[in-house]
Amino acid sequence: MGRLAGKSAVVTGAGRGFGAEIAELFAREGARVVVSDIDAVSADATARRIVDGGGEAFALRADVTSAADAESLTEVAAERFGGLDVLVNNAGISSAGGVCEVTEEEWDRVMAINLKGVYLCSRYAVVHMARSGGGSIVCIASASGVIGQQGQVAYNVSKHGVIGLVRCMALDHAADGIRVNAVCPGTMRTPMLDALSAEQLAALEAMHPLGRLADPAEVAQAVLHLAADESSFTTGSVFLVDGGFTAM
């Protein structure tokens, strides 16, 4: 029996990178998974890999900044799988620049995807989970959400916001049996880093006391723990999986 046997889960931004890693791990652990992404082609590919491997999944295109898409994610998951037990708010984008470099449009785009998207997907999931006796929401924040950093103001602030949202939702919905937690990865080797040069990657590695970047599979284990019943007394927590990055 897998650690998520009998559970249904929605993972946003699961077409590639960390979200795909989480969706595939969840399926191996027995969950039925809705693989959601704004990019339908990559979502289909992740869902196909899961099904080909003997798991249960289907792809659903959804833009987390759209209330209608967020609502249909919960509805379709509950309809197809008979309920929704786990939501992983993973979709996110990176952004560089200090307050004078970031344009207003870029600021709004980062906040819409990284922060409002978490609020929108959670609000519909919470209503459903409360009605059915509870669930687990795991939000992918970042080590950037717990410390200040130079040159990435919009991203950093959006992830601080996600942690605030996690704490507030954990308090507001504890009585509904809904646990809400944040996972804060250090830098992981995902396509999000594709634009970085070898020098930039080496500098990032040096910022992690373990001396390397994370394999997304290592960090996905923390998401699995928080999604599964084994973490039944954990809510409102901020789980750092950052190779010591924020301990410096």
Ligand X SMILES: NC(=O)c1ccc[n+]([C@@H]2O[C@H](COP(=O)([O-])OP(=O)(O)OC[C@H]3O[C@@H](n4cnc5c(N)ncnc54)[C@H](O)[C@@H]3O)[C@@H](O)[C@H]2O)c1
Longest dimension (CA), the chain: 53
Query: Which range touches ligand X (CB under 6 A), out of 60-68, 80-88, 98-106, 227-235?
Result: 60-68
- CA pair distance 237, 147, nearest whole angstrom: 16
When asked if residue 65 is in the footprint of ligand X (CB under 6 A), the reply is yes
Nearer to ligand X, 37 or 85 (CB): 37
Q: How far is the CB of 70 from ligand X (least distance, A)?
A: 9
Nearer to ligand X, 8 or 95 (CB): 95
Q: How far is the CB of 5 from ligand X (least distance, A)?
A: 26
When asked if residue 111 is in the footprint of ligand X (CB under 6 A), the reply is no
Instruction: Kindly state the DSSP code that residue 83 receives in the 8-state scheme.
Output: -
When asked if residue 245 is in the footprint of ligand X (CB under 6 A), the reply is no
How far out from the chain centre does Cα 135 lie? 15
* The binder of ligand X chosen from 95, 122, 142, 156 (CB under 6 A): 142
When asked if residue 192 is in the footprint of ligand X (CB under 6 A), the reply is yes
Q: How far is the CB of 175 from ligand X (least distance, A)?
A: 28
Nearer to ligand X, 135 or 185 (CB): 185
Binding pattern to ligand X, positions 37-56, x when CB under 6 A?
xxx--x--------------
Residue count, binding to ligand X (CB under 6 A): 28
Q: Nearest-CA neighbor of 188 among 243, 150, 147, 151?
A: 243
- CA pair distance 229, 133, nearest whole angstrom: 14
- CA pair distance 115, 37, nearest whole angstrom: 16
When asked if residue 156 is in the footprint of ligand X (CB under 6 A), the reply is no
- Residues designated as active site: 155
Q: How far is CA 223 from CA 112, 117, 141, 231, 236, in A?
A: 23, 18, 11, 10, 14
* Location of structure tokens 């992404």: 37
Binding pattern to ligand X, positions 9-38, x when CB under 6 A?
---xx-xxxxx-----------------xx
Q: What's the order of all strands across the beta sheet hosting 135-140?
A: 56-61, 32-37, 8-11, 86-89, 135-140, 178-185, 238-241
Residue 128 structure tokens: 């459903």
* The binder of ligand X chosen from 40, 45, 76, 93 (CB under 6 A): 93
Q: How far is the CB of 33 from ligand X (least distance, A)?
A: 15
Task: Determine phi and psi for 135, rounding to 5 degrees.
Answer: 170, -175
* Location of structure tokens 């990178």: 17
When asked if residue 64 is in the footprint of ligand X (CB under 6 A), the reply is yes
Residue 53 structure tokens: 């491997």
- CA pair distance 26, 175, nearest whole angstrom: 26
Interface residues with ligand X (CB under 6 A) are 12-13, 15-19, 37-39, 42, 63-65, 90-93, 113, 140, 142, 185, 187-188, 190-193
